[in-house]
Amino acid sequence: MSRIKVFLFLILVSGAFSQIYSQGDENKVGHLRILDRDHANWKQIDDFSVLLDWGFYPEPIDLRFRIGNLPEESKTEFLIFPWSHLDSVQVCDLKDNCLQAGFAHPVDQWLIPGIFPVFPLRKFLESSSEIKVRIQSRNYILSEVRLVSAEELYSITTLYSGIVFSLLALVIVQIAYLINSYVRLRSKWILYQILFSIGMGLTFLFVSGIASRYLFPGLGFPLSLGKKIMIGYLIISGTLWVSYFLKIKQNFKPVWYFYNSVNILTAILVALSFTQFPRLFISRSFTILYLAVTGTAIILSLIAMKRKTIQTRWFAMSMFSLLAIEILNIISYKTYFSFDGKSFLFFIGFFVPINIFLTSRVVRTRIRELEFEIALRRKELESFQNSVLENQSDSSNEKRKSTIIGINVDEALARLNRLLDEDKIYLEEELRISDLAAVLGLSVHQVSELLNQVLNISFPDLLKKYRIEEAKRIILNDPSVNILDLAFSVGFQSKSSFYDSFKKYTGLTPQEFRKSLLPDAPEE
């Protein structure tokens, strides 16, 4: 699977390089000039393109262009608006004969359906070299207006579509790998990472205009709205992925509440995107939330790495790449973006595959860690069960099993082992036997009999045993861990209860156990 990703990545980068730097000036047509003395909101890039920079400006923008040095009759020139998310664009001649495009209108109603607005100019230029353009969009208006030949139009469209489809191929490979991992381990963080990756793929489809062009050509769906929905989806699914991967609820409870608040705010912002609420506020709020979530994830991953509670090196690097993508995206509005879309496309084609590679390494490392933990837990449980069975005769054991009417004992034990080994259900502070029964699909009486008759252990003792084993593992990985924080993180509700249970199952207090591992450890 990783070789396929590397192969697709190399094709993507080499294709982007060849397309970006192979476009010469041999097919250039005419020249484009904007008839406006005020340079505050536009810039002439070269003879063939103008950059419009109105920011968040929901009102219609009326412009006038002159096209000179008309090409030979054999050539056809087009006015295009690439790399933009404009809701509506109208191009008219001086007699007010108009063509309309933009993503608020169904693509199949455009004269030339495309992944960005395209207007043929031959008819407009028959009577005059001047044209009128009206633009309206609720998204940030930073759009290039470019005069191109048919050959250039084909080249630009091919490059843009090729990069998007290559990125989609990488995301599909990533999702397939994650689904296979989820089937094997049934871990929630993998499920949420699948949802995050699906959101990334949908973002490429909708924000690029590919979905509007090929999947829903009859649906007028503003990309300015679609972009906000996709960003909101990525923030929510990303916080859930990070929360379950880093076990934030158990290890960093204040951050758990913070992430829940972020998700609520994100849902509110997505809802406001459907209203006339100012898009500038919504966009900046999304940016702040994204940076806050990603920055917090980086800090927590570094803390977890220091504590050695979980291997997070690749995870921290993937979070850094996501942070870099957003920072460069912010900078690109004014500086990194070279105004012709080429640098932006290379930036997307380079950094996104890097992030996919890093997240795949995260999954692979975590899966190996989980498999090792599961094997260790199963070995411990088998040892525990064997010790219990040794104290019972085969006949009495069969008799005890037979009293649990209506269930398959072996199957119930397998489900219980999965909940304890993989899901670590015992870390929930307020876990009750009725909660365990509901998850197992049994009655409280059946669960009680299963524990007491087959495993010869009560429900409270089972929780304490597994919680103490988890605490021992954490101390082994990080002898400097705070004892009170440790007690809460493994599910105990008080320090005294944790001390009593630890002493009961190990014969030592937590400090004594840590002292046996690290003689120089300070007393708390």
Residue 16 has a pLDDT of: 47
Largest CA distance in the chain: 103
Report in angstroms the alpha-carbon separations of 297 from 123, 172, 214, 280, 363: 56, 25, 36, 26, 16
Residue 511 has a pLDDT of: 84
5 touches 356 (CB < 8 A): yes
- Domains of the chain are 30-152 (2.60.40), 391-517 (1.10.10.60)
| CA atoms in the 13 A half-sphere facing the CB of 111 | 14
Residue 312 has a pLDDT of: 72
Residue 393 has a pLDDT of: 46
Report in angstroms the alpha-carbon separations of 265 from 196, 269, 281: 18, 6, 13
Residue 477 has a pLDDT of: 79
Calculate the dihedral angle through the C-alpha atoms of 328, 330, 334, 335, rounding to the nearest 10 degrees.
-20
Residue 148 has a pLDDT of: 86
Residues 6+ away with beta carbon under 8 Å from 507: none
Q: pTM (2 decimals)?
A: 0.63
Identity of the residue numbered 82: P
The whole-angstrom separation of Cα 100 and Cα 117 is: 9
Residue 395 has a pLDDT of: 44
Please state the φ and ψ torsions of residue 69, each to the nearest 5 degrees. 50, 55
Q: Which sign, positive or negative, has the C-alpha torsion 510, 515, 521, 524?
A: positive
> Please, what are the averages of pLDDT over each run of 10 residues along the chain (524 residues)?
50 46 45 78 83 83 81 64 82 87 84 86 80 85 84 83 82 88 80 89 80 80 79 90 83 87 93 85 88 90 74 80 75 47 58 77 75 65 61 48 62 83 80 80 80 83 87 81 82 80 84 72 52
Residue 349 has a pLDDT of: 66
139 touches 86 (CB < 8 A): yes
